[in-house]
Structure 1
Amino acid sequence: MLGRRLIPGLLSAYSIMAPIVEPPAFIKVPAKNHSATVILVHGLGDSGFGMQSLASQLQSDGLGHCEFYLPHAPTRAITANGGHRMPAWFNLFSFNPPSEDDEAGMLESFASIDQLIANEIDSGIEASRIVIGGFSQGATMSLLTGMISSRQLGGVAVLSGRLPLRDKAGKYPKLKELASPHAASVPIFWGHGAVDPMISHSLGRLSADFLTSEIGVPTAPATGEAKGLTFKTYDGLAHSIGSQEMKDLGAWLNKVLPA
């Protein structure tokens, strides 16, 4: 049976009773010489299977030392989609921002993903050798995890994502409140399509600017070091992961998780 662990600092998000947290079900893409781990989090309505081709491509592009974990989101009703049930990390109340975020759902999913990270650390992989990344809703969850986890991860990859924990006014005070002391030190790769109709490029850019101005994440140095925030725009790319974006992500991962 998978270990059970309490997630520090999140009791108030649920109740005064300590929650029992289990990691999500996942697909594992093993590595022969496992010295680092990458967790890839899928988007709304998808599953871990939807990230398998990306994981396989990244492994073949110099990341053969990395094991990949591809978690599955639970099924939940989506308000913005007429209450239709689908795999989702959190509910969406509207497809048009600045609608309020499902804070409870986000923190619940964070706790389960953070437990997956804890189990990997328990197996012998250091937190600095673990990167979490995702697409769309999974990108937002990856960013939340990297910013509020008590463990300083090796990096966060955001593909067509946005900031989590938005309030009714379109602001992010809860994210600032929960941000860990090391949030500004976590390297971040952010890729966004210039013509994304679901999560606009402008929202992605504003989200990245918030990280630099409000959380203190520095802009990545021009030398190409694996530090700070790297933001890349892909002309002509809509709400998907492009081939050049995959190459850039692979190059960044090889810097933050060298063999």
Structure 2
Amino acid sequence: MSALRVTTVRQSNEEATGTVLFLHGSEGSGEGILARIKEHLGDDWQFRHLRILFPTAPVMNYTPLGGAAANVWFDRHRLSPTVPECLESIEASMEMLKQLIEKEIELGIPLHRIIIGGYSMGGAMAMHLTYRMFPRVGGCFAMSSFLNDSSIVYKSLETNTEDPLPPLSMMHGDSDELVPMEWGAETLKQLQRFGVKGTMTIARNVPHELCKEHFINLTRWINNIVPHL
């Protein structure tokens, strides 16, 4: 498994007082997510007080591609809520991402001013990282994303002692055929059962892709969770 490379974005010379970790989808890259943000918003993202990290997933053999190598956060048997999770690959990526977050803490960023999120597979990885390893971060977001029905995230929350848990912002397109909106809604419902306070914003006539509406809503949410000091 290869090491992570990270694209970092800062908007000003201000000292960062918070961090956003944004994880891409399967076969994507950190640079690719940043390019889509520029495409939709015309700039790198306007947070004068935050450092934004766009890591690229390690290269691993990916079963849906016939075992070919790809930049993915974890392997999976197929894209379905009913299959078991490939935990070995999930755990390996969590350990690599843990190092990024610990580095931010070493730089002086408190956990409650760190937000973890992502798109599609990256959103799933963000929910694993947040609710299993860092339940004291400021918040989590998941765009066009999911957890499998038997996810270890749910099992971990059964014994959770953190109160409150980080809030969750989910965004989905109602025309998503790859990860149906109903799958995302069921994920949110299950997390709410365990005390996660979350919302889902629906983009009309949007398939499985990032859209401007999602980024506008996400920007507003991040500024509310980790405001400028």
2:99 to 109, 112, 115: 115
Q: How many residues end up aligned between the 2 structures?
A: 221
What is the CA-CA distance between 1:54 and the residue it aligns to? 5.5
SS in 2 for 1:161: coil
Q: Deviations over 1:150-185 (max 9, x none)?
A: 45111111001111xx4xxx423x323333432752
**Contact residue 23 and residue 114 of structure 1 kept, 8 A:** no
Map 1:170-209; keep pairs closer than 5 Å: 170-172=149-151, 174-179=152-157, 180-182=160-162, 184-209=164-189
SS in 1 for 2:218: helix
Q: Which residue of 2 aligns with 1:39?
A: 21
What is the CA-CA distance between 1:238 and the residue it aligns to? 0.6
Over aligned residue pairs, what C-alpha RMSD do you find?
2.1
What is the CA-CA distance between 1:60 and the residue it aligns to? 6.4
* Distance change in 2, residues 1:101/1:183 (3 Å): farther
**Contact residue 128 and residue 152 of structure 1 kept, 8 A:** yes
Counterpart residue identity of residue 194, structure 1: D
1:48 aligns with 2:30: yes
1:69 aligns with 2:88: no
Q: TM-score, normalised by structure 2?
A: 0.89
1:239 aligns with 2:218: no
Map 1:25-36; keep pairs closer than 5 Å: 25-31=5-11, 32-33=13-14, 34-36=16-18
Where do 5+ consecutive residues of structure 1 fail to align?
A: 1-21, 218-227
**Contact residue 156 and residue 188 of structure 1 kept, 8 A:** yes
* Distance change in 2, residues 1:194/1:247 (3 Å): same
Percent of aligned positions that are identical: 24
Taking the aligned partners of 2:62 and 2:162, their CA distance within structure 1 comes to: 33
Map 1:70-149; keep pairs closer than 5 Å: 70-149=54-133
Counterpart residue identity of residue 125, structure 1: I
**Contact residue 175 and residue 204 of structure 2 kept, 8 A:** yes
Taking the aligned partners of 1:212 and 1:51, their CA distance within structure 2 comes to: 28
Q: TM-score, normalised by structure 1?
A: 0.79
* Distance change in 2, residues 1:62/1:181 (3 Å): farther
248-257 vs 58-67, which deviates more?
58-67
**Contact residue 76 and residue 86 of structure 2 kept, 8 A:** yes
Where do 5+ consecutive residues of structure 2 fail to align?
A: none
Q: Which residue of 2 aligns with 1:8?
A: none
What is the CA-CA distance between 1:99 and the residue it aligns to? 1.7
Taking the aligned partners of 2:133 and 2:3, their CA distance within structure 1 comes to: 14
What is the CA-CA distance between 1:93 and the residue it aligns to? 1.0
Counterpart residue identity of residue 95, structure 2: A
Taking the aligned partners of 2:43 and 2:20, their CA distance within structure 1 comes to: 10
